[in-house]
Structures are given as C-alpha cells and as structure tokens.
Amino acid sequence: MGIQVKQIVLRQIQMPLVHFFETSFSRTYARDMVLVEAIAEDGLSGWGEVTAGENPFYNEEWFESAWLILKHYVAPRVLHHEFGSPSDVYARTAHIRGHFMARGGFEAAVWDLEARRQNIPLWKLIGGGSRREIPCGVSIGIQDTIDELLGKIEKELNDGYQRIKVKIKPGWDVEAIRAIRKRFPKILLMGDANSAYTLKDIDLLKQLDEFDLMMIEQPLAHDEIYDHAELQSQLKTPICLDECIRDAHQAEQAIRIGAAKIINIKLGRVGGFAGAKAVHDVAMKHNIPVWCGGMLEAGIGRAHNIALATLPNFTLPGDISASKRYWKRDIIDPWVETTSNGTIAIRDDVGFGYPIDHDFLKSVTVREETLS
Ligand code: OSB
Ligand code: MG
C-alpha cells in the first residue's frame, strides 16, 4: 500500500539562539523555522523541518518563501497523491524551480512518516546505519574579537568535538586562522567563507595554505562551480563545496572538473533525503568524502541530519552538535547530546528517533496553518 498524506500542518516557530551566529553574510540572534507535519489517512504523522534562514542570503530561500511555496505549490501537488515510496516525493515537486529547502521539508516529513508506518528508525529506512556513533564537529561564527574566538574554540575542544570550523570573511581570515593555529597547532581545523571571495582574492586565499586546514568551504560565489576549479588548481588546501551543490549532477560536474575534493551535504539544500542520497552516491563513486552540514536546526532537523550521517560515505565530522549549543530548550526531549569523544550515539526509536516536546513546541509556535 502506498503513502497518502491527507493533511499538512505548517508551523512557524521562533527561538532565540543561546549565542548569536555570524557568517560572512549576516548575524543571527534568533531563528524563525518552519516545521512540516504530514498526516496520513490513518492519523499517523511524519515531521520535517525547513532549513531556510531568516533572510535569502545563504541561498534564495527564507522561511517566508518556504511557507508560500509549501502552501501554494507543494501541498496542492502532494495532498492525497499516492506515493509508492518516499523516494518518489522529490520528482513530484520537481516542477518547482529551486526552493529545495521548502520541498525538502515536506520530503523529509514523508520519510519520517514511512519509517513510523514500518515501525523502524529513519536511519534504517534511508539505508543508513553504517555507524552507531557519528563524528561531530562545530561551526563557530565570526566573533567580536580573536580572544573570544579562541575562548570559544577551547570550550568546544574541552567538550570533545573532533573538528573546528570557523567562519571567515575578508578582514577575518588569515590573521584569525594564524592565531588559532598558534594556540592549537594540531587540531582538525577548517574555514567556511560562505561565498565571500572572488578569484581576485587568490593571493590572499593562497596564504591559508600554510595552516594545514582540512579544507576551505565555499570560498567563491554560491553558483560558481567553474571558478572553484580554477581556484583549486592553484590551492593546496582542499576545497569543499556547500552552496554550489544542489543536485547529484552538479556534484558530478564539480568533481569531474576538480572544483571540489570534499562535499558538504545539507538535507534541505538538496531537496531532502532522495537528493542527499544521490549526491552522497555520486561522491562515493568518485572517492570524494562527504559530511553533513547544518543550518542551526531545531531538534527535528538535527535528528534528520543524524540519520543522514549514518550513510557510509559520511566519513568526516559534520556540523551536527548538541542541542544546548544552540537552544536553552529544544523542541525534542531528550535533546541531542554528544559523548565525551565528540560523537552522537544513534537511537533506535521509530522515525527520527527523538520524541517531540509538544508543550514546548506549542509555546514557541507563532503561526500555524492546516492544509487539506
Ligand atoms: O554554511 O554551513 C554553513 C549556518 C547557517 C547558514 C550556513 C551555514 C551555517 C553553519 C552552521 O555553518 C552549522 C550549524 O548548524 O551549526
Ligand atoms: Mg557552509
């Protein structure tokens, strides 16, 4: 029997971050997130989280556009449609250009729903389970001072995290990385520029080669694969693509022309689990390692990322870390926690594996709409 969704409930939640998060494109103090609940004929629910930000600065999406795309374009195509499998959802909304995060929020909800129908963990349904613990790193935003940055890194290392990623931008790059390397000569370290540079900055980017970074993430424009190949040919440090990779074909092209030695896979950015698995498979075929990126998710999105990171080629520590790094209280209970080795242990509960804290969820919901 196929899967039919009879109702979609959209919820917008608002939660302040424990600490602001600054990238090359903006500083965020509080998050607005859209949750997608997909309800089946029998009353069973699956949940997804839209990973779009508060502004269309990381990519073209933001939570308001995602809400409208889900309401006006995704819901009418998917409600009461019979899906043979959750892998069919991606194609059903492929008439929509872009808007992968909005589409992916629903797609992930259907995977969760199907896992619950089969009474198995989500990681099993997607074909994961290659590891019982996933290796974790942290992404540390731009701080007001280098001293604050060093203090933050020290704290995360003490908590056991396996690798440190710092956000960089022009004016907060070579000197910041130099200071980190001086203080922490041996740690696994990388920088993420979120498209803050162009090929004109090649001499500056080459200066980063002396610091033995694991990789530099998305230094050039969000839609510019070719320039990254040009840059990589002159850089020792491996380039990892984030923003540029929206589907498996782009991943294949980027790998083929030498634009990426590593790929960051974000569930939302590639439209959900089917897209993520396709990018994962292409990378694996070419011996390109991948890791799971984050978008400051609340508990549901975080739990989906954990499931994703159990696929075999997620061999590098991802940006998946404990709930308490982001939130005073999470919308799931228990929260996501890390071990002292900087890993997250996989749970065997059904679906995405963490019970929702419905009371708290209600208290942070600022908008709700049922589509049927
Ligand atoms: O580029 O990886 C990114 C957060 C918002 C937008 C883009 C990015 C990020 C992060 C945060 O690096 C990762 C996390 O969830 O901790
Ligand atoms: Mg990134």
Asked whether the predicted pLDDT for residue 340 surpasses 90, the reply is yes
By most ligand atoms within 8 Å of CB, the mutation choice from 319, 323, 325, 330 for ligand 1 is: 319
Domains of the chain: 3-119+355-371 (3.30.390.10), 125-345 (3.20.20.120)
Identify the band that residue 145 occupies on the pLDDT scale cut at 50, 70 and 90.
Answer: very high
Tokens of 38: 């997909």
CA–CA gap between residue 207 and residue 174 (Å, rounded): 7
DSSP per-residue letters across 166-220: EE-BTTBSHHHHHHHHHH-TTSEEEEE-TT---GGGHHHHHHGGGG--S-EE--S
CA–CA gap between residue 372 and residue 9 (Å, rounded): 9
Tokens of 86: 């959750």
Q: Can you tell me the mean pLDDT for 153-160?
A: 98
Per residue in 33-60, pLDDT tens?
999 999 999 999 999 999 999 999 999 9
Q: Can you tell me the mean pLDDT for 212-225?
A: 98
Ligand 1 touching residue 295 (CB < 6 A): yes
What values do phi and psi take at 256, rounded to 5?
A: -60, -40
Ligand 1 touching residue 61 (CB < 6 A): no
Question: What totals of helices (H) and strands (E) does the chain contain, helices first?
Answer: 13, 14
Q: Can you tell me the mean pLDDT for 208-227?
A: 98
Of 167, 169, 261, 277, the catalytic one is 167
List Cα–Cα distances, 165 to 140, 155, 204, 215, 339, in angstroms.
6, 14, 19, 9, 19
Query: Which amino acid residue places its CA nearest to atom 14 of ligand 1?
Result: 294
pLDDT of residue 258: 98
Q: How far is the CA of 159 from the centre of ligand 2 (A)?
A: 22
Catalytic residue flag (residue 266):
yes
Q: How far is the CA of 334 from the centre of ligand 2 (A)?
A: 27
Query: In which residue are the tokens 């619950």 written?
Result: 116
Identify the band that residue 141 occupies on the pLDDT scale cut at 50, 70 and 90.
Answer: very high
Asked whether the predicted pLDDT for residue 361 surpasses 90, the reply is yes
Query: In which residue are the tokens 């308490």 written?
Result: 324
Of 165, 169, 266, 277, the catalytic one is 266
Q: Can you tell me the mean pLDDT for 323-339?
A: 98
pLDDT of residue 35: 98
Q: How far is the CA of 264 from the centre of ligand 2 (A)?
A: 7
Identify the band that residue 344 occupies on the pLDDT scale cut at 50, 70 and 90.
Answer: very high
Atom of ligand 1 nearest to the CA of 326: 16
pLDDT of residue 294: 98
Asked whether the predicted pLDDT for residue 114 surpasses 80, the reply is yes
Tokens of 126: 């997607």
Atom of ligand 1 nearest to the CA of 242: 1
Atom of ligand 1 nearest to the CA of 217: 1
Catalytic residue flag (residue 182):
no
Q: How far is the CA of 256 from the centre of ligand 2 (A)?
A: 21
Identify the band that residue 140 occupies on the pLDDT scale cut at 50, 70 and 90.
Answer: very high
pLDDT of residue 1: 74
Per residue in 293-318, pLDDT tens?
999 999 999 999 999 999 999 999 99
Mean of the per-residue pLDDT values for the chain? 98
Ligand 1 touching residue 139 (CB < 6 A): yes
Q: Can you tell me the mean pLDDT for 171-189?
A: 98
Ligand 1 touching residue 296 (CB < 6 A): yes
